[in-house]
Structure 1
């Protein structure tokens, strides 16, 4: 529950119920005023935020400019997985009770998009409970903020039993109730690890809402009386990452060299994956085949760049032979089995396809609670990941996934890939104020990343939210249910 610890979709979903940022999201994912009523650039390197007055934290204390300064600086801590959002921030200053200035290292035209994802905490509460610094998620650190919250958001945390039950209740003093007069008194979040059990609980009326209805059960739920399924394309792409930079793969059987360091091997793997077959058979048609690792809805996405290399086993085998791996090699694939839609099924299909070019894959599928810390410790050679884009800007993908890790940026670049030219472009797109020049930087950066094949794109994810017909709630393309937009009939 620590709002600055783990930048992962389901964790952020929990935070969005109880915490808020200066900038918020509408139901159609427009950036709207939240704890700040307005913002503007007062010069090239300073953004001014005017704070909403009269807002209370859940413990009844006032939300103040001091809390904003504290929260932004807390999110910059090395433990925070949100530090990349605000890597450009040089300082944050209280000007008066209603005004905060955020100073950046150089111009940053997208700072409001980024700061929308920095949740505001109570400075006094954090100091009182010894949580001035964020939890170190990858080290499984236990702190008060992990199981307790004190935000300003639409719901208040009542109970938190990890892996069992989490309950939040309506915040009757929430400032936003006038504009969002929802009637949800309580939300009981119950993790149900078995897909069939989730669906059975929905069909029997034990559940009102299932976030991740399995693709094989979508039609069955649609046909069931009293239930509905809402569908949309998510702003998220699923892909495979490769350790291209290590001298030797930690989880491979080739000694003394790294087969992934050879672009011909990476290209062979790309050609060997029949993504059309996966989309139709594994995903039951609920997937949009991808040729780049970001999706429509993200600034900088181009349909022309979103074209896959063709499925071509003969070419793949020829490339493997040219690279000196005609007989293939062995490798371990790390995969989640409870995070993305049919994630383990996707990995199983990839295993079979790569076997056709001699790559013997040992599949290690496990819960995201184990999968993500493993990746964040760089304890992997080959892995599945999905990446949403909360800022709706390509810079977010590059800064997390492609930039050379430097303590702020590149925190999800587990490939050991480093390209100074690309780093320069990524830094440039953060500071370039001319829209045409900035778009050219983004285009050129995508061209490089596509050409290097550091990642093997798979598909853009399609969402199916299943719910009772009594629940009127919009499906949102970032896969974050916002219950303050809901009504129970």
Structure 2
């Protein structure tokens, strides 16, 4: 049948029938053979207030919470490498067809057996969930159909060649087709529909306060080290640090840079860091010929968009001291960036040089472009989404103003900011945004953050920046190239064009920073997700 999402959906009626409860009894027997983890409770202070519905509001903190209760077909390890989860294997049948074999014997928390129908249902629900402010479907635009070939086999068809589809599906959590049928986010928050296959089971959720999960004794994978985990929402940075110091929590995520050094010197506390895959960058909107956000020094609107001139875009890049931005803005907990990929990722160019700050050169470029007196602009950024984001924007405003781009900073709550920069109703000329790549490749940054929006191919979200047909051509080829070596070469060529024409202005890669009481070992993740299944406690 054809779902309202536009995908062709193939499901059996059997998938919608109530599951038999006898399987829950069977699991008691099966559990007897499972290794027991040592009893322990864990309390984690988290910055973000999560949603429990794994298909609602596509944000990294929500994916992290979902990974405790729900599994994807394909996951990623701490270094962003693809690993099997519910799919034990996958292969390309053709340029536009992928087949996934499900892990045998996996059961949901209610005891029912995972089948391909649950996978098909989950992918369909992602596309049809109403009133979703940031849908997970945005990352799956190339999919045209999801089919249950048999109970253990799923076939995904794309409308164009997509060599990285297995990594892209990592964001989709698989839910029970029975428990989630007709369910809305409130049904997940209450626990009624929160039936997954993950290492923990839903216990209790108090929005804005805490989520408690309990170990799933029938989990298909390694048993987690914790009996229960309580995630306490502590959005205020100081409150989160204070809770750790007072031993009200055992660990915290998103450690404020200003506190990391102090915590390292605190007896009984350990700090864990690694470079993340999130690049903080400036998007420059050169698409409209005129915008009200540009003014002359007297405040009158300009009759043309300065960012349509590559010299002005380069002047913006030369105005910024990236190393100073990292040192002063995030206390050194960042890596200055020359490109939209962190080191070690496929598509990262080790020969790319970080732009040397050159205020005099920036002013000369502005003069050559016809702006000897500079111009005024508003820099829009979030306040509370990235590490010290509003503080970083203030530093950027000062650096730009120093070369004649008189910058007014408008830092807004994330919900307002992301509404402002929606491609369908863009209300900004200059934005500071973060992009998490995921999957160990630069391709997602190229296809989504940098490629111009193309309704024909489904590529691109870059209606909020500067477009380049030459760069788009390399990206389009890379996105369809199954030969890994050739794909890497195409990505490097696209990145080179981006740097040459200043399509975006990369600033730095964020660090993943967590802290815990001594005795807890944390492996920080490149994707910045707080997932405790890999955490260990000393005996």
TM-score (norm 2): 0.82
Q: Which of 391, 398, 417 matches 2:446?
A: 398
- CA distance in 2: counterparts of 1:162 and 1:382, whole angstroms: 34
List aligned pairs for 1:421-460, cutoff 5 A. 421-460=470-509
Corresponding residue for residue 321 of structure 1:
367
Corresponding residue for residue 243 of structure 2:
201
Q: Which of 152, 160, 165 matches 2:197?
A: 152
In structure 2, the gaps of 5 or more residues are 1-50, 296-300
Q: Which of 162, 169, 175 matches 1:108?
A: 162
The 3 A distance-change label for structure 1 pair 249 and 158 is: farther
List aligned pairs for 1:159-238, cutoff 5 A. 159-176=204-221, 179-193=222-236, 195-238=237-280
How many residue pairs end up in the alignment? 474
How far apart are residue 409 of structure 1 and its match? 3.9
3-state SS of the aligned residue for 2:276?
A: strand
Corresponding residue for residue 366 of structure 1:
412
3-state SS of the aligned residue for 1:128?
A: coil
- CA distance in 1: counterparts of 2:526 and 2:169, whole angstroms: 19
How far apart are residue 410 of structure 1 and its match? 5.2
Q: Which of 22, 45, 61 matches 2:96?
A: 45
- CA distance in 1: counterparts of 2:243 and 2:347, whole angstroms: 41
3-state SS of the aligned residue for 1:123?
A: coil
How far apart are residue 411 of structure 1 and its match? 5.9
The 3 A distance-change label for structure 1 pair 414 and 60 is: farther
The 3 A distance-change label for structure 1 pair 454 and 420 is: closer
1:124 aligns with 2:178: yes
In structure 1, the gaps of 5 or more residues are 132-141
- CA distance in 1: counterparts of 2:190 and 2:314, whole angstroms: 45
Q: Provide Cα deviations, 1:111-148, integer angstroms capped at 9, x if missing partner.
A: 2111222221223333332x4xxxxxxxxxx7645775
3-state SS of the aligned residue for 1:463?
A: strand
Q: Which of 261, 286, 306 matches 1:244?
A: 286
List aligned pairs for 1:281-430, cutoff 5 A. 281-305=328-352, 307-376=353-422, 377-406=425-454, 409=458, 412-430=461-479
Q: Provide Cα deviations, 1:357-394, integer angstroms capped at 9, x if missing partner.
A: 22222212233233223323523221111111112222
- CA distance in 2: counterparts of 1:18 and 1:88, whole angstroms: 27
Corresponding residue for residue 135 of structure 1:
none
Corresponding residue for residue 141 of structure 2:
87
**Which structure has the greater CA radius of gyration?**
2
- CA distance in 2: counterparts of 1:90 and 1:197, whole angstroms: 46
RMSD value, Cα: 2.4
TM-score (norm 1): 0.89
How far apart are residue 160 of structure 1 and its match? 3.5
How far apart are residue 189 of structure 1 and its match? 2.6
